[in-house]
Amino acid sequence: MRRSEPGVPGPQVCDQAHAAVSLAAAEGRGEPVSFDARIVKGARDRIEMMAALRDALDADEINIVFQPIIELSSGARAGYEALARWDWNGMAVSPAEFIPLAEQAGLTFDIFGLGIRRAGELAKKLGPAPEPFYISVNLSACESGAGGPGAERRQSSGAVGIAACLAASGDH
């Protein structure tokens, strides 16, 4: 274990140690990690991005795009998959980057709700389907209602949201 710099207050040393342990756990390499400025920068960047993601949700700036799903045997469109997309500071942010941040910030259920609302809007716009048709909306594993804080609220809100979308589309 490396000693902290002289003159660093005890509580700050504890915070730095906690940050280094968190980084080591997140990287999962089982190697020691020393606290340095990149840890602070990384934490600040994550906090800034989480705040921007929260603001984007509030401002309806998360886009839901629909990717067609094609039945390979017939070439017919079987449905769509709803995909969340986010542009931040003029640049597209990969879902592989912002979905884990949304999970950490407790925002994935809000993104799921947005996907459900947009799926209902698309279903209403398309009208009655001539054949079986679906729109899939992915739900984060951490928001699937498998327990934990808020699970009952998530399950209840999700059921109400899906029912409202079905009612609005005229299919139920």
Q: What does the pLDDT look like over 5-35, one tens digit per residue?
A: 666 676 766 767 766 676 666 666 667 767 7
- Higher-pLDDT residue of 27 and 2 is 27
Q: Are residues 99 and 48 in the same domain?
A: no
Of 39, 59, 79, which marks where a domain is finished?
59
pTM > 0.85: yes or no: no
Quick check: is 65 in a domain? Answer: yes
In angstroms, the CA 145 to CA 152 distance is: 7
CATH number at residue 152: 3.20.20.450
In angstroms, the CA 18 to CA 40 distance is: 12
Residue 138 and residue 115 in contact, taking contact as beta carbons nearer than 8 Å: yes
Domains contained in the chain, number: 2
Q: Could you tell me the pLDDT band of residue 149, with boundaries at 50, 70 and 90?
A: very low
Ordered alpha helix ranges (H), the chain: 10-27, 37-58, 95-105, 108-126, 151-169
Q: Are residues 106 and 70 in the same domain?
A: yes
Backbone angles phi, psi at 128, to 5 degrees: -60, 135
Q: Are residues 94 and 42 in the same domain?
A: no
Quick check: is 3 in a domain? Answer: no
- The answer on pLDDT for 172 being more than 60 is no
Residue 113 and residue 153 in contact, taking contact as beta carbons nearer than 8 Å: no
